[in-house]
């Protein structure tokens, strides 16, 4: 597995700040008027134990001040903020994050007050999906599903070129059930796709299957599970096959409902390339009959897709700026 290295080209436009608040780290970047990611930093995300999100907002304000001090000639005109969990894009509210610990925080308005510029606010996977749609290989299609497979699994839906979020509830394909009554999922359900087909699940299921065997197995990730499968490890082969079967099955259900012209697969697991795409496509197609078959494309924007999506959304808030796509 190797990470895609295509440089991101946002193109000319207003200079903006972009913040990607993750469960572990927060990534912040300054995009200049040429579209370059001029300065990028990564810091640990503070826990928000009081549920207000204040710790996160204070950290973002400090990062913004740092960028302004370090680049005094850059005219920052807007900011983009993306967060995990349940996000109400329309109202600018972080509804819930179990990992970081907030509930019903009006992030968009609070951050705009702190920074003194307009703020674009959305869910991390929808932002990454928008970046892939705007700058990756699916731009020629109007009906597109972008699926990010990493620690978890989530999707971003574009219908007629417009993102569809349903007040934050759309796109949660990681929690569609493929094995009723099966393995426990972090959401409280059982047999969800995310509990079987995510990179996190592949690693976890392999370690569980190892029992009290080789202690080195405790550190094994999805990449190593694939390597062992390819080397003939039957246990690894079974877990990899069950994962790709589950992903293919859920994608077929998405095809039945949405009939996307293209499905983009991104996130850490997509870096497995044909070892993921080939069995997933075969499995998906095995369920399709009269349906329109989508093309499966790899994500190309790479690890910066989140901040790039946040920056694209922020730029759209600046008056008289044409966006290459709806965000
Ligand atoms: Zn679940």
Write a three-state SS string for the chain: CCCCCCCCCCCCCCEEEEEEECCCEEEEEEECCCCCEEEEEEEECCCCCCECCHHHHHHHHHHHHHHHHHCCCCCEEEEEEEECCEEECCCCEEEEECCCCEEEECHHHHHHHHHCCCEEEEEHHHHHHHHHHHHCCCCCCCCEEEEEECCCEEEEEEECCEEECHHHCCCCHHHCECCCCCCECCCCCECECHHHHCHHHHHHHHHHHHCCCCHHHHHCCHHHHHHHHHCCCHHHHHHHHHHHHHHHHHHHHHHHHHCCCEEEEECHHHHHCHHHHHHHHHHHHHCCCCCCCCEEEECCCHHHHHHHHHHHHHHHCCCCCCCCCCC
What pLDDT sits at residue 147? 97
Facing residues of 79 across strands? 17, 119
Band of pLDDT at residue 325, cut at 50, 70 and 90: low
Which of 62-71, 95-104, 107-116, 142-151 comes out lowest in average pLDDT? 95-104
Q: How far apart are CA 201 and CA 195, in angstroms?
A: 5
Higher pLDDT, 6 or 86: 86
Q: Kindly report, residue by residue over 179-212, the tens digit of the pLDDT.
A: 999 999 988 999 999 999 999 999 999 999 987 5
Same structural domain for residues 147 and 263? yes
Mean pLDDT calculated for residue range 270-279: 96
Q: Environment class of residue 71 by beta-carbon count within 10 Å: exposed (0-12), middle (13-18) or buried (19+)?
A: middle
Distance between Cα 53 and ligand 1 center (Å): 24
What pLDDT sits at residue 4? 45
Distance between Cα 87 and ligand 1 center (Å): 17
Same structural domain for residues 115 and 221? no
Same structural domain for residues 154 and 190? yes
Asked if residue 236 belongs to a domain, the reply is yes
Distance between Cα 55 and ligand 1 center (Å): 28
Domain boundaries, position 41:
15-130+303-316
Assess whether pLDDT exceeds 90 at residue 99: no
Asked if residue 185 belongs to a domain, the reply is yes
Same structural domain for residues 103 and 229? no
Q: Kindly report, residue by residue over 158-188, the tens digit of the pLDDT.
A: 999 999 999 889 999 999 999 999 999 988 9
Distance between Cα 232 and ligand 1 center (Å): 30
Same structural domain for residues 149 and 118? no
Asked if residue 326 belongs to a domain, the reply is no
Distance between Cα 181 and ligand 1 center (Å): 12
Distance between Cα 180 and ligand 1 center (Å): 11
Distance between Cα 73 and ligand 1 center (Å): 47
Q: Kindly report, residue by residue over 122-132, the tens digit of the pLDDT.
A: 999 999 999 99
Q: Environment class of residue 82 by beta-carbon count within 10 Å: exposed (0-12), middle (13-18) or buried (19+)?
A: buried
Same structural domain for residues 291 and 150? yes
Same structural domain for residues 151 and 97? no
Mean pLDDT calculated for residue range 57-85: 97
Q: Residues lining ligand 1 (ion), CB within 5 A?
A: 175, 185, 187, 189, 192
Measured between alpha carbons, how far is residue 274 from residues 100, 167, 252 in Å? 34, 35, 18
Same structural domain for residues 156 and 84? no
Assess whether pLDDT exceeds 80 at residue 117: yes
Number of domains making up the chain: 2
Assess whether pLDDT exceeds 70 at residue 213: no
Share of the chain above pLDDT 90, in %: 81
Same structural domain for residues 27 and 145? no
Measured between alpha carbons, how far is residue 62 from residues 7, 28, 40, 81 in Å? 28, 11, 14, 14
Mean pLDDT calculated for residue range 95-124: 93
Distance between Cα 38 and ligand 1 center (Å): 38
Asked if residue 321 belongs to a domain, the reply is no
CATH of the domain at 62: 3.30.420.40
Asked if residue 10 belongs to a domain, the reply is no
Q: Residue 78 in contact with residue 15, Cβ under 8 Å?
A: no
Asked if residue 159 belongs to a domain, the reply is yes
Same structural domain for residues 121 and 45? yes
Assess whether pLDDT exceeds 60 at residue 42: yes
Same structural domain for residues 253 and 156? yes
Distance between Cα 71 and ligand 1 center (Å): 43
Same structural domain for residues 174 and 290? yes
Asked if residue 4 belongs to a domain, the reply is no
Mean pLDDT calculated for residue range 217-236: 91
Which of 95-99, 182-186, 297-301 comes out lowest in average pLDDT? 95-99
Mean pLDDT calculated for residue range 148-165: 93
Asked if residue 9 belongs to a domain, the reply is no
């Amino acid at each position: 597995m190797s990470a895609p290295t295509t440089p991101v080209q946002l193109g000319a436009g207003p200079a903006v700040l972009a913040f990607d608040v993750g469960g572990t780290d927060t990534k912040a970047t300054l995009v200049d008027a040429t579209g370059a990611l001029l300065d990028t930093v990564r810091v640990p995300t503070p826990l928000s134990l009081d549920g207000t999100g204040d710790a996160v907002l204070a950290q973002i304000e400090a990062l913004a001040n740092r960028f302004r001090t370090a680049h005094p000639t850059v005219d920052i005109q807007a900011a983009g903020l993306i967060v995990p969990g349940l996000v109400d894009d329309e109202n600018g509210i972080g509804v819930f994050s179990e990992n970081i610990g907030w509930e019903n925080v009006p992030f968009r308005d609070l951050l705009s007050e702190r920074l003194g510029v307009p703020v674009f606010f959305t869910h991390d996977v929808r932002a990454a999906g928008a970046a892939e749609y705007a700058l990756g290989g699916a731009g020629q299609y109007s009906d597109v599903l972008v699926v990010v497979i990493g620690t978890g699994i989530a999707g971003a839906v574009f219908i007629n070129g417009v993102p569809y979020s349903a007040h934050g509830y759309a796109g949660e394909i990681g929690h569609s059930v493929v094995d009723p009554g099966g393995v426990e999922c972090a959401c409280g359900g059982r047999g969800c796709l995310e509990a079987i087909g995510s990179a996190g699940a592949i690693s976890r299921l392999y370690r569980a299957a190892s029992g009290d065997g080789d202690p080195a197995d405790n550190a094994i990730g999805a990449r190593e599970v694939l390597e062992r499968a390819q080397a003939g490890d039957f246990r690894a082969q079974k877990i990899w096959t069950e994962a790709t079967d589950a992903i293919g099955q859920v994608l077929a259900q998405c095809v039945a409902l949405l009939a996307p012209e293209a499905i983009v697969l991104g996130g850490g697991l997509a870096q497995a390339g044909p070892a993921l795409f080939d069995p997933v496509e075969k499995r998906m197609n095995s369920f399709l009959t009269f349906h329109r078959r989508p093309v499966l494309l790899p994500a190309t924007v790479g690890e910066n897709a989140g901040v790039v999506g946040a920056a694209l959304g922020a730029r759209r808030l600046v008056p008289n700026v044409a966006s290459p796509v709806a965000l």
